[in-house]
């Protein structure tokens, strides 16, 4: 089985190609190739990496996204290396789709009705669902009738209990589908499965910390998400790179009375807040670090506030679970910042969590970095959303053939 994974965003397209046998491997295989196309105002930057170690980077003037994507696929699949064929039933294209609403709680084969629902839900994810749908339609144009599977970022959180999902506003909000959906679900799901493999049990109480430019925590009980920090939109919860995370709604009313409209508030909360807004330097902790070392108090406040909000949200997830077996750190900051991991874990010492400093500093990948006598395990897991999408494609196609 051959599976192409397409993660289509507003500013980039990421592609990943897997060739699978008749059964799924326990751990993620190396893809045959990976590619990323970053879209800028006048040009596209294309990077391709193959399992042979070959790497290509090129820049092209933008004509149309379809034309450039078609060119990349043609280059990778020319002649005898072309492996995806529209008439091959066991091949598929998997797509990350950010918002599935309450309609789609599992991955599903794309049909006209599925596309229509993805389009309808663009009002809940205006920066993502239109790009996801564009990717699906591009693949239809380029590859014909090959099966396509939509893998929804909201699906993993879709069975949260009502007490975690429903906001304490008027009950009519429930009828309007205004509720906590949660995001980063593909990553949280992958980390749940990988944690079970690493610890040799699946009856775990986990707090998964997906910390990147965007960030969210989830409380996972025996493989199921029971709470998460992101809500109706990806703006809720943690302080992030450029997003504010949770703020008093009264602030927004106050600003509206000063003349702010919806677009200005949107830009303020999503693009001009978080680490960027507080530090005045960058959304990236790696760039804030040197300013802190130089004595910049505003940069120090940004980092301190980031950690304070992380610990507060962690406490909320802990209370939802009523206990904890393991903490998982993943995504850009979670996987690569030893100091953030150490500072976050220090606040859990009263729970009996003890971090091994040497393991924490050794760039761990899919490892337990807690001491042997720690009452709580601490895992650093390299999130592999592309592989999680490929797994769902495999399952969907096999269920279809039964």
Identify the burial level of 363 via C-beta atoms within 10 angstroms of its C-beta, where 0-12 means exposed, 13-18 middle and 19 or more buried. exposed
Rg for the chain (alpha carbons), in Å?
22
Cα-Cα-Cα-Cα dihedral of 300, 303, 307, 313, to 10°?
A: 130
Residue tagged 């960030």 (tokens): 215
- What are 2's two structure tokens? 């051959």
Q: What share of the chain is helix, strand, coil (3-state, %, to 5)?
A: 40, 20, 40
Cα 184 from Cα 210, distance rounded (Å) = 8
Which of 308-344 are b and which e, b meaning 16 or more Cβ less than 10 Å from the residue's Cβ? ebbeebbeebbebbeebbbbbbbbbbbbbbbebbebb
Residue tagged 């918002």 (tokens): 99
DSSP string, 63-105: S-HHHHHHHHHHHHT-GGG----TT-TT-EEEEEES--TTT-S
* Active site (catalytic) residues: 153
Cα 79 from Cα 166, distance rounded (Å) = 53
Cα 329 from Cα 343, distance rounded (Å) = 13
The answer to whether the beta carbons of residues 337 and 314 sit under 8 Å apart is: no
Closest CA to 305 of 275, 283, 280: 275
**Residues listed for the chain:** 402
DSSP string, 317-372: HHHHHTS-SEEEEEHHHHHH-HHHHHHHHHTTGGGT--B-HHHHHS--SSEE-B-T
Closest CA to 190 of 376, 397, 1, 5: 5
């Amino acid at each position: 089985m051959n599976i192409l994974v397409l993660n289509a965003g507003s500013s980039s397209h990421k592609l990943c190609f897997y060739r699978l046998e008749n059964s799924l491997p326990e751990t993620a295989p190396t893809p045959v190739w990976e590619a990323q196309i970053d879209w800028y105002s006048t040009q596209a930057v294309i990077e391709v990496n193959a399992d042979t170690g070959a790497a290509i980077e090129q820049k092209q003037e933008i004509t149309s996204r379809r034309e450039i994507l078609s060119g990349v696929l043609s280059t990778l699949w020319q002649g005898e290396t072309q492996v995806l064929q529209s008439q091959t039933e066991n091949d598929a294209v998997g797509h990350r789709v950010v918002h599935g609403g309450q309609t789609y709680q599992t991955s599903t084969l794309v049909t006209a009705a599925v596309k229509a629902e993805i389009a309808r839900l663009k009002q809940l994810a205006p920066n993502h669902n239109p790009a996801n749908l564009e990717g699906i339609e591009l693949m239809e144009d380029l590859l014909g009738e090959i099966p396509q599977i939509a893998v929804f970022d909201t699906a993993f959180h879709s069975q949260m209990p009502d007490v975690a999902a429903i906001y304490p506003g008027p009950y009519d909000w429930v009828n309007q589908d205004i509720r906590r959906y949660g995001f980063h679900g593909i990553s949280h799901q992958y980390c749940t499965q990988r944690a079970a493999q690493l610890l040799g049990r699946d009856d775990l109480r986990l707090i998964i910390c997906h910390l990147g430019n965007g960030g969210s925590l989830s409380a996972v009980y025996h493989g199921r998400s029971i709470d998460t920090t992101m809500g109706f939109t990806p703006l809720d919860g943690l302080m992030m790179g450029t997003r504010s995370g949770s703020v008093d709604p009264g602030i927004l009313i106050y600003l509206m009375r000063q003349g702010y409209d919806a677009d200005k508030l949107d830009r303020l909360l999503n693009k001009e807040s978080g680490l960027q807004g507080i530090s005045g330097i960058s959304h990236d902790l790696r760039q804030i670090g040197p300013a802190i070392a130089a004595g910049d108090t505003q940069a120090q406040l940004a980092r301190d506030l980031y950690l304070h909000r992380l610990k507060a949200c962690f406490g909320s997830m802990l209370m939802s679970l009523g206990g904890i077996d393991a903490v998982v750190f993943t995504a850009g900051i979670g996987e690569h910042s030893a100091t953030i991991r150490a500072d976050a874990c220090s606040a859990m010492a009263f729970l009996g969590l003890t971090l091994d400093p040497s393991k924490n500093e050794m760039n761990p990948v899919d490892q337990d970095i807690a001491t042997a006598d720690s009452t709580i395990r601490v895992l650093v897991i390299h999130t592999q959303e592309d592989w999680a999408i490929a797994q769902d494609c495999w399952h969907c196609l096999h269920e279809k053939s039964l």
